[in-house]
Amino acid sequence: MAQAVRHDAMRAGNLAVVLGELDRRGPLTRAALAENTGLTKTTVSKLVADLIDAGMAVESGAVRDGERGRPGVAVHLSGHRVAALGLEINVDYLAARVVDLTRTVRLVRTQPVDNRSSSPDEVIGRLRELADGMLGEAAGLGLSVAGAALALPGPVDRSTGTVHSAPNLGWRQVAVADMLDLPLPVVVDNEANLAALGELWFGSGTSLGDFLHVSGEIGIGAGLVVGGELFRGAHGFAGELGHVVVSPDGPECRCGGRGCLERYAGQDALLPPGAEIGDLLVRLSSGDRPAKEACERAGAALGIALTTAVNLLDPDTIVLGGIFAPLFPWVSGPAEEALRARLGHMRAHVPAVVVSRVGADAATLGAAGQVVQRVIADPMSFLPTPQR
């Protein structure tokens, strides 16, 4: 019995090593996999067969085999069977993405809806319908969804799937994961954290160095990626950039404080009630002066809050995402100016401010990406029929 357990644990570890290698460096021949992992060719062949059976890997054409230069059959990750569901509840929309194991986006849905006027029950019910529809469509494509992750605009207890407080939704202590009750494992996480991971896995990635990703929505959150990993803080609540104080005597904020960044640069500060970001973009491109000035004020406030963040965290790069991605041409200049004016004396390099490559999709991509990471780290748990 003890031996069987040890064998299973070893097989689980080896499957993860081989799948991880295919993810980072595939396509690879079995010989190259053996060389890179230190496993014997026999073991690698058996593990690869299991991964192919499970639809996680597939053989491709012949490639040159490492140093020896012999042609061999290569193996690479397969996106044909295993997939992940990324979900998002935000203040004025619901969104979902299905991503396969190769991180290719297979299904996309966004539903504009004002979630402030509904109870958590109603909002979560609408999301369940959206998610059920996506799971049905995924099954139609032959995809088996391994798990889901849900992005929420507020601090979340990931161990229980409870959102502590989402001030812009008016939610306190909502047990979202339990209420959602999907027929697969669901992880709940903060929207800004998942958006930063979305940028890491689907956007500019590691080329940014250590970066702070800013998600502009009705609220403003940030996620810090250090050494390719998300920094969460002691309680998982790091990155609440929207509640960094820009002006201590400023207007009251829904968080209970005053003069927070959100009041100057959040979507509600930029748009009149009921207006959409598209309306603002139309006004901006036609040279509308009040629209341009609103963006300049938002950019300057963002620069002031980011100065505090840079002094504390020293990132290489600041990535502007969410609504700040389409508004980048109008907000980035004033933000950079504020940063340079305040940081220029202290440091030789002020961090580069760049536009997100995934924009508004970042949080659902990060959510789905987190499930993909879990499968790659522990493929044995996701094998359809574990042979014991």
Segment contacting Zn ion by CB under 5 A, of 31-39, 245-253, 312-320, 349-357: 245-253
Segment contacting Zn ion by CB under 5 A, of 70-78, 106-114, 249-257, 345-353: 249-257
For Zn ion, which is the closer residue by CB, 165 or 193? 165
For Zn ion, which is the closer residue by CB, 29 or 267? 267
Smallest distance, Å, CB 273 to Zn ion? 19
For Zn ion, which is the closer residue by CB, 80 or 297? 297
Smallest distance, Å, CB 45 to Zn ion? 57
Smallest distance, Å, CB 8 to Zn ion? 49
Going by C-alpha positions, the residue among 157, 191, 196 that lies closest to residue 177 is: 157
CB contact at 8 A, 194 and 184: no
Smallest distance, Å, CB 170 to Zn ion? 14
Q: Per CB under 5 A, does 269 bind Zn ion?
A: no
Q: Per CB under 5 A, does 260 bind Zn ion?
A: yes
Q: Which residues contact 286 (CB under 8 A, 6 or more apart)?
A: none
DSSP 151-174: EESS-EETTTTEEEEETTTTEEEE
Residues 57-96 touching Zn ion, rule: CB under 5 A, are none
Smallest distance, Å, CB 214 to Zn ion? 15
For Zn ion, which is the closer residue by CB, 180 or 260? 260
Residues 214-243 touching Zn ion, rule: CB under 5 A, are 243
Smallest distance, Å, CB 253 to Zn ion? 3
Residue 48 burial class via C-beta count within 10 angstroms: exposed 0-12, middle 13-18, buried 19 and up: buried
What distance in Å separates the CA atoms of residue 134 and residue 128, rounded to the nearest whole number?
10
DSSP 34-81: HHHH---HHHHHHHHHHHHHTTSEEEEEEEEEGGGTEEEEEEEE--SS
The label of the residue with tokens 């800013």 reads 214
Among 12, 255, 271, 277, binds Zn ion (CB under 5 A): 255
Smallest distance, Å, CB 247 to Zn ion? 12
Going by C-alpha positions, the residue among 169, 170, 175 that lies closest to residue 188 is: 175
Q: Per CB under 5 A, does 179 bind Zn ion?
A: no
For Zn ion, which is the closer residue by CB, 239 or 351? 239
Number of Cβ within 10 Å of residue 289's Cβ equals 8
For Zn ion, which is the closer residue by CB, 21 or 262? 262
- Edge-to-edge strand ranges of the sheet holding 156-157: 156-157, 162-166, 171-174
Smallest distance, Å, CB 356 to Zn ion? 23
Q: Per CB under 5 A, does 253 bind Zn ion?
A: yes
For Zn ion, which is the closer residue by CB, 100 or 240? 240
Q: Give the three-state DSSP class for 342.
A: helix
Amino acid identity at 283: R
Q: Where are the alpha helices (DSSP H) in 239-327?
A: 262-265, 267-270, 277-285, 289-313
For Zn ion, which is the closer residue by CB, 182 or 260? 260
Q: Per CB under 5 A, does 250 bind Zn ion?
A: no
| Residues pairing with 112 in the sheet | 93
Positions that interact with Zn ion (CB under 5 A)? 243, 253, 255, 257, 260
